[in-house]
């Protein structure tokens, strides 16, 4: 691995963190980096983390068993690890969404929607560009750029669930007012 | 067990769940869950809600015999 490549990765990570911090400040109404939750939301998020943790454990065990059986997983090792992390994150987010603990007290819902669309869009574009160059799937193995598709899928899934939950909440408020 | 006393006290003050939630510093869904009996709030939140609604803990949170 050349020095230029390493420097490129380091700069890329720095830029990604900077963009993430700026977007988080836009997402939160009070422009704070930290999202605030009430006591019920914190308790629910604890359970969400638990389910996310167990998802990763079961995923890793499944990978170990599949590998022990001699079945080749059609992904590079980095992607196998990353997919597990994303699966855990999706499970945690889904649990939190349906138990009213995903959006914090200071979260701007519209700001978050913009954030999710930007992240999903960037990842989708990146994946499409790589697809054009056939870099995602080589020699029967999914390559690292497949990570962009997984990220895009995760944010789209979270977005759809948040939209469905907001409709459910609106109905609940209307029933409450009647 | 539903907390109808809380719901009645809130309605008595002409507050929506969202109004009470904002005053108490919690989400609307948390107030909804307390009223439905799906969530047992901490004593601090109970006291906060009582202060906002001008009621005592007994009046809002003590179960009827």
pLDDT tens digits, A35-88: 899 999 999 999 999 999 999 999 999 999 999 999 988 888 888 999 999 999
Q: What does pLDDT average to over chain A? A: 89
Dist CA B29 CA A96 (whole Å) = 12
Can you name the CATH fold of B4-61?
434 Repressor (Amino-terminal Domain) (1.10.260)
Does residue A8 fall inside a structural domain? Answer: no
**C-alpha distances out from residue A92 to A21, A55, A140, B39, Å:** 21, 9, 31, 20
Does residue A25 fall inside a structural domain? Answer: no
Does residue A21 fall inside a structural domain? Answer: no
Residue A15 predicted with pLDDT over 90 = no
Interface confidence, given as ipTM, is: 0.91
Does residue A4 fall inside a structural domain? Answer: no
**pTM over the 0.90 mark:** no
Dist CA A21 CA A15 (whole Å) = 10
DSSP secondary structure string, chain B? ---HHHHHHHHHTT--HHHHHHHHTS-HHHHHHHHHTS----HHHHHHHHHHHT--HHHHHSPP-
Does residue A23 fall inside a structural domain? Answer: no
Q: Which residues of B touch A103 (CB under 8 A)?
A: 27
Q: Which of A29, A35, A39, A97 to mutate to test the interface with B (most CBs of B within 10 A)?
A: A39
What crossing angle do the helices spanning A39-68 and B28-36 adopt, rounded to 10°? 90
pLDDT at B29: 93
Q: pLDDT by residue (tens digit) across A115-135?
A: 888 888 988 888 888 777 667
Residue-range definition of the domain harbouring residue A133: 36-177
Distance from chain centroid for Cα B58: 12
DSSP secondary structure string, A85-149? HHHHHHHHHHHHHHTT-SS-TTB-HHHHHHHHHHHHHHHHHHHHHHHHTT-SEETTEE-TTHHHH
Residue A178 predicted with pLDDT over 80 = no
**In this complex, is the C-beta atom of B40 within 8 Å of any C-beta atom belonging to chain A?**
no
Does residue A10 fall inside a structural domain? Answer: no
CA A177 to chain B, closest CA, distance in angstroms equals: 8
Dist CA A24 CA A118 (whole Å) = 12
- Select the residue of B16, B26, B32 nearest A38 (Cβ to Cβ): B26
CA A97 to chain B, closest CA, distance in angstroms equals: 12
Say how many domains are in chain A. 1
Q: Which residues of A touch B15 (CB under 8 A)?
A: none
Q: Which of B29, B34, B44 to mutate to test the interface with A (most CBs of A within 10 A)?
A: B29
């Amino acid at each position: 691995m050349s020095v230029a490549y390493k420097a490129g990765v380091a700069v890329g990570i720095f830029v990604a963190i900077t963009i993430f911090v700026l977007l988080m400040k836009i997402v939160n109404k009070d422009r704070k980096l930290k999202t605030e939750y009430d006591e019920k939301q914190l308790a629910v998020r604890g359970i969400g983390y638990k389910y996310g943790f167990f998802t990763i454990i079961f995923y890793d065990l499944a990978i170990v068993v599949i590998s022990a059986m001699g079945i080749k997983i059609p992904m590079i090792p980095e992607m196998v690890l990353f997919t597990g992390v994303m699966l855990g994150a999706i499970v945690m987010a889904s649990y939190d969404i349906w138990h009213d603990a995903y959006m914090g007290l200071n979260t701007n819902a519209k700001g978050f929607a913009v954030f999710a669309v930007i992240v999903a869009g960037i990842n989708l574009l990146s994946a499409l560009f790589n697809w054009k160059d056939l870099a995602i799937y080589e020699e029967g193995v999914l390559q690292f750029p497949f990570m962009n598709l997984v990220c895009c899928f995760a944010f789209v899934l979270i977005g759809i669930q948040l939209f469905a939950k907001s409709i459910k909440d609106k109905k609940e408020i209307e029933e409450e007012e009647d | 067990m539903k907390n109808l006393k809380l719901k009645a006290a809130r309605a008595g003050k002409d507050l929506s769940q969202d109004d009470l939630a904002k005053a108490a510093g919690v989400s609307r869904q948390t107030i909804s869950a307390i009223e439905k009996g799906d969530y047992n709030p901490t004593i601090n939140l109970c006291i906060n809600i009582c202060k906002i609604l001008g009621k005592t803990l007994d009046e809002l949170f003590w179960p009827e015999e």
